[in-house]
């Protein structure tokens, strides 16, 4: 673990945990790449890039299974305690959140593949979906950095950043309904974007969940189910 005194000789458990951390960061980078490619595919209406995202999802799933197995092996072989056990439990949950984030990227990529030929690009501006995408990607990247550096201050910043995703999501239904009323022939395009916004709102949820796990294993604080106001009081 990064919190160890590196002048001490690393134990076999320390080495296993370091390897697990590296694997988790590698998976994180793959998922973040999936999200960024899904954003580019949507913005450019690039169906080939979207198909690449769908194909790569199999690798994300394989990564999740490997990390799960590695966690189980470490638990069985070393019976870790204290911060080492908290780290292991946090990785198990982060791994699940990363897999779900990969599913979200895949889902949006499938929408891109199915976009109608007459897709109306005005929807990008009026729904703010690209702005939402960029914020979601930034949140996932910052939580990854917080995990890598074991930086709980950085992890806590994610809670405030989710406000923008919530705002755009809250406005999406009325904005989409108004667009469809004025452009009934473009309803399929609008509904694809609305579905993408709903998925991107969940990216924020996954980022917050992972931030909570970083705080849990670093500080032994459980933030799950606390209201946003309580989480921010601890920043």
Residues 94 and 207: beta-carbon distance below 8 Å = no
Look at residue 94 in the predicted model and tell me its pLDDT.
98
Residue 114 CB contacts under 8 Å (≥ 6 apart), including other chains = 192
Give the pLDDT confidence of 186-195 residue by residue, as tens digits. Answer: 999 999 999 9
Look at residue 6 in the predicted model and tell me its pLDDT.
41
Look at residue 139 in the predicted model and tell me its pLDDT.
98
Residues 92 and 72: beta-carbon distance below 8 Å = no
Instruction: List the one residue out of 137, 57, 164 whose CA is nearest residue 100.
Output: 57
Look at residue 7 in the predicted model and tell me its pLDDT.
45
Instruction: Look at the pTM and tell me if it is higher than 0.85.
Output: yes
Task: Write out residues in the chain with pLDDT < 70, as ranges.
Answer: 1-8, 221-235
Look at residue 235 in the predicted model and tell me its pLDDT.
46
**Which overall architecture, per CATH, does domain 12-233 show?**
Up-down Bundle (1.20)
Instruction: List the one residue out of 95, 88, 235 whose CA is nearest residue 154.
Output: 235
Look at residue 2 in the predicted model and tell me its pLDDT.
45
Look at residue 223 in the predicted model and tell me its pLDDT.
58
- Tokens 């919530």 found at: 166
Domain boundaries, the chain: 12-233
CA 171, CA 184: separation in Å to the nearest integer? 19
Look at residue 230 in the predicted model and tell me its pLDDT.
52
SS3 5: coil
């Amino acid at each position: 673990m990064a919190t160890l005194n590196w002048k001490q000789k690393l134990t076999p458990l320390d080495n296993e945990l370091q390897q697990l951390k590296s694997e988790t960061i590698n998976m994180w980078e793959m998922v973040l790449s999936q999200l960024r490619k899904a954003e580019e595919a949507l913005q450019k209406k690039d169906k080939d890039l979207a198909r690449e995202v769908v194909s790569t999802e199999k690798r994300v799933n394989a990564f999740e299974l490997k990390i799960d197995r590695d966690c189980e092996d470490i638990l069985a072989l070393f019976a870790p305690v204290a911060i080492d056990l908290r780290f292991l439990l946090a990785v198990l949950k982060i791994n699940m959140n990363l897999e779900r984030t990969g599913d979200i990227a895949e889902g949006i990529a499938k929408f891109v593949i199915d976009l109608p030929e007459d897709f109306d690009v005005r929807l990008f501006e009026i729904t703010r979906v690209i702005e939402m995408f960029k914020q979601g990607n930034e949140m996932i990247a910052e939580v990854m950095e917080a995990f890598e550096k074991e930086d709980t201050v950085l992890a806590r910043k994610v809670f405030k950043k989710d406000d923008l995703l919530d705002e755009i999501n809250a406005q999406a239904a009325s904005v989409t309904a108004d667009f469809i009323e004025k452009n009934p022939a473009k309803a399929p395009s609008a509904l694809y974007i609305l579905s993408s916004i709903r998925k991107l709102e969940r990216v924020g949820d996954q980022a917050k969940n992972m931030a909570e796990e970083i705080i849990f294993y670093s500080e032994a604080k459980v933030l799950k189910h606390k209201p946003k106001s309580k989480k921010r009081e601890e920043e």
